[in-house]
A and B are shown apart, each in its own frame.
Chain A
Amino acid sequence: MSSPASEAASAERGASPRPALVQISGLSKSYRRGSETIHVFDDVDLEMHDGEFLALMGPSGSGKSTLLNIIAGLDTPDKGSVVVGGEDVTRMKARRLAAWRATHIGFVFQFYNLLPVLTAAQNVELPLLLTRLSKADRRRHVMTALEVVGLTDRAEHFPKQLSGGQQQRVGIARAIVSDPTIILADEPTGDLDASSGDEILTLLERLNAEFSKTILIVTHDAHAAERAQATMHLDKGELVR
């Protein structure tokens, strides 16, 4: 299915639809638990265009995070394909997939998942260690990302010295520092109070609006979903608008 936002954008331009940045076709996923097979979702289709900000909602266990992981190449589907930027993620070998992920995916976790032994700046620098950038260039990129999330003054703080909201902003800085093709956020406000959660959503909106970042967030929170341009629901194995 094509998101409402992208359909509206195409209609406004009156031109043929742009090629999707993310093209998911016939995606199915199931787990084996003992002798039982649990179908997470079946024959899911999704298109996402460059610059879109989508929210994916659904009850616990509906497969939202699994879908996100498959798009990020962290999990494999039973069948179907996930094409991101013209490359089929499901056909990539592990090594190629890791390199692809480093370049194209920025991942934001519910519990921030910062490395406690590293400072905020060092956490943000992690994805850049996989590039050929010089130390000075890495530092410049890190400070830019921290500036975007408003935490330059906390660069040398360790995670335990930061509030939850600040840690999540560091997590977002880490996700954007390598300028990925798409940002995937799994319950980014799930561990935050309302005020901090609102700040994070505002930051994501800004990344989408000012920097044209393509963002897909998974959330339980209807208020959070409202901040996206469009919302989809994954329920009983089906993705519906």
Chain B
Amino acid sequence: MSIAGLVRANLTRNKKRTFLTVASVIVAFFLFGLLRSVITTLDAAAEVGSEARLVTLNASGLTFPMPEAHANRLAGFDGVRSVTWSNWFGGYYQDPQDYFAQFAIKADTWLPMYSEVRIVAGDADAFLRERTAALVGVGLLEKYGWEVGQTVTLQGTFFAGDWDFNIRAAYVPEDPSFGDENMYFHYEYLYERNPNVVTPGWFILQLDQPERAAEIAAAIDDLFRNSSAPTETQTERAFQAGFVTMWGNIGFLVTVLGTAVFFAILFVAANTMMMAVRERIGEIAVLKTLGFTDGKLAGMVIAESVAITLVGGALGLLLARGALSGGNPLQSFFPGLAVTGGTFLLGLTLALALGLITGAIPAWQSARLSVAGALRRIG
């Protein structure tokens, strides 16, 4: 046996209580892992867009149309290398509650512009050639069990009716925050079925010199200020960040919830540790009689506490990682949602801090214990 063995023996003294304490810590850190991952994913999503691309949309809002004719004028701007556009589709596959993002894109200009979209199955040319072809994220393939070459039917919401798509290619994003559960298809397909309704939703401009982004954006908006469709132009990153802020101050809310959970568990764990020490007063007195120093006994109590919180913390974080790894419904809302290494490290640091804090009071109690008084009590 060793001092560590003695700590281990004390942890197994009341297995039910130790299990319940560890379980409460697991729940706390499971929640921490989930909530923290939402924050890190939102932060990453705000960074996903390029600074080398501009997004031009109707100044009245994303839902207002843009004349296709704007594309040629935008392409003629000094410093703009290429222009493409995209539309929100908003359909669903079988279950209206089962959401994923679909975009109608000007594929021949969109695909070359988005080099971060890597085709991993099928063929980009086949996608570009066929009007009803679709480019699908691998996450979506996994989610629905689709395969490249398969025809799938989506039900339209803004654009009513059944829409057949032939999956011709699958992609993996270079940046997980881009999301691998999106579907892209041809703008022309959308237009031919709704010619009087469909216009580009927003334009995307590839710049030659990203450092001129602000200057070019201002010039574009000036140009269209008095047109039928005034524009608002910003970098793609700012555009993405704007989407993120649509979630409101979710980061603050998550932080408040996480802090509340942390302190609730802190009190539970501290109370348990104090209870564990209180019922071992006699044994602590005996150990002191045998020559164990106050410091050694305090260290043993803290080691017990830290063992509980670290084991519980690690298990909770692993559970959160498991829960967020692939196939979870939140992936559609938060592409790339996962427990990052940073979250894991922060969680373990918090677990260590929790152990030290909850162990501190009982450790101090055990160190301060009067042996003679305790021995008188136990006989």
Contacts and interface: CB of A to CB of B under 8 A. Distances in A.
B164 interface: no
B361 to A, nearest CB: 20
Nearest to A115: B283
Interface in B252-306: 282-283, 286-296
A129 B9 contact: no
A101 B286 contact: no
B289 A125 contact: no
B287 A117 contact: no
Contact of B291 (A109, A113, A130, A135): A130
Contacts, number: 78
Nearest to B280: A115
Contacts of B375: 65, 69, 74, 109
B150 interface: no
B349 interface: no
B197 interface: no
B320 to A, nearest CB: 33
Nearest to B14: A117
Interface in B1-43: 1-3, 5-6, 9-10, 12-13
Given A69-B371, A129-B6, A107 B13 contact: no
B291 A111 contact: no
A93 B12 CA distance: 34
B2 A74 contact: no
Contacts of A74: 288-289, 371-372, 375
A98 interface: yes
A117 B291 contact: no
Identify which of B12, B286, B290 gathers the most chain A CB atoms within 10 Å of its CB: B290
Contact of A94 (B283, B289, B294, B378): B294
Contacts of A118: 1, 6, 9
B3 A129 contact: yes
A4 interface: no
Contacts of B1: 118, 122, 125, 129
B369 to A, nearest CB: 11
Contacts of A105: 289, 291
Nearest to B367: A94
Contacts of A127: 290-291
Interface in A82-103: 94-95, 98-103
B145 interface: no
A113 B282 contact: yes
A100 B291 CA distance: 7
A113 B3 CA distance: 18
A110 interface: yes
A98 B291 CA distance: 4
A46 interface: no
A107 B288 CA distance: 11
A75 interface: yes
B293 A113 contact: no
A75 B2 contact: no
Contacts of B195: none
A167 to B, nearest CB: 13
Nearest to A103: B291
A98 B376 CA distance: 19
Interface string B44-60: 00000000000000000
Given A69-B375, A74-B375, A113-B378, A126 B290 contact: yes
Nearest to A130: B291
B76 to A, nearest CB: 82
Contacts of B283: 113, 115
A208 interface: no
Contact of B10 (A65, A95, A117): A117
Give the top 5 A-B pairs by smallest Cβ distance, nearest first. A102-B291, A75-B372, A117-B9, A98-B293, A74-B371
Interface of A: 65-66, 69, 72, 74-75, 94-95, 98-103, 105, 107, 109-111, 113, 115-118, 122, 125-127, 129-130, 135, 174
14 contacts: A74-B375, A75-B371, A98-B292, A101-B290, A107-B289, A109-B379, A110-B379, A113-B378, A117-B10, A126-B287, A129-B1, A129-B2, A129-B3, A130-B292
